[in-house]
Amino acid sequence: MRASRFGLAIAVSIGLAACASSGSLAPQTDPAWSGRQFASWQETDPAYRFFPGDSIDVVVHSASELNRTVAIGPDGRVPLPLIGNVMVANRTDFEIANVIADAYAQNVLVNPIVEVRRAALGPQNIIVGGEVNTPGLVEMTGPVGALEAVMLAGGFRNTAARGDVVVLRRQPGGALMMRTVNLHDALEGRPGADRVQLRRHDIIFVPRSTVAEINVFVEQYVSGILPLDQAFSYAIADAITNN
């Protein structure tokens, strides 16, 4: 448990921790990437960030009548008594507790102590694009790797480069990370071939020939979306599906 001047929060764990890294990273100096810069892949387990569709328990220890379970709306805000709508999307439980505590301190309470807990999670969606039979949005109902994601998207097309499947992920600050996984080895049953565990809002891209195609994909669908969130996930998935 961490405390700040006004707020405190209990760490949230949702069982989506990434496994050890496998696959290869394309060097940033590789000519095939045409100068595109990707951040170094990090297999850390960052604190969960809440998005529209999630629900949280807000506990005000110094004023229990203000306690609420609230859903995060499409605009990323939650309605709270006395202080109105508060922006909480793309924040951790600790950060949300601080924002709410600050809002109450500025208006009605003296040194409020606020705790935020996870109540329920919205859809844990990922996006699968490229050479798969049904590209678009895929909902995770449990731990999912890159191969399972491709199967959920209808499987590979005959033109797919199964040995160079790309996984894209945003860092909390918005930088785009990239890695490749060899799903040809995974299909052959070779151990350790697909060890990346996907997280909410990850993007899986199956190229037709080489991973160099990822530049076109990123420019067409992903660039400028910082950070990726649920609303943009639907927009990208819709564009991929209808293109």
Three-state SS string over 100-139 comes to: HHHHHHHHCCCCCCEEEEEEECCCEEEEEEECECCCEEEE
| Whole-number pLDDT of residue 1 | 34
Render each residue's pLDDT in the chain as its tens digit; 243 residues. Answer: 333 433 433 332 223 233 333 333 433 333 344 445 777 787 776 788 898 899 999 999 989 999 999 999 999 999 999 999 999 998 999 999 999 999 999 978 999 999 999 999 888 899 999 999 999 999 988 888 899 999 999 999 888 888 889 899 888 777 888 888 888 877 777 766 667 789 888 999 998 866 556 666 776 666 665 556 666 666 666 666 666
Top-level class of domain 2-10+47-120: alpha beta
Examine residue 227 and say whether the peptide bond preceding it is cis (omega within 30 degrees of 0): yes
d(CA 38, CA 76): 28
Residue in 160, 140, 158 with CA at minimum distance from that of residue 149: 140
DSSP state of 48: P
pLDDT of residue 152: 93
CATH superfamily, with its number, for domain 31-46+122-242: Outer membrane lipoprotein wza domain like (3.10.560.10)
CB–CB of 219/173 below 8 Å? no
What is the sign of the dihedral through the CA atoms of 154, 205, 199 and 193?
A: positive
Residue ranges per domain, the chain? 2-10+47-120, 31-46+122-242
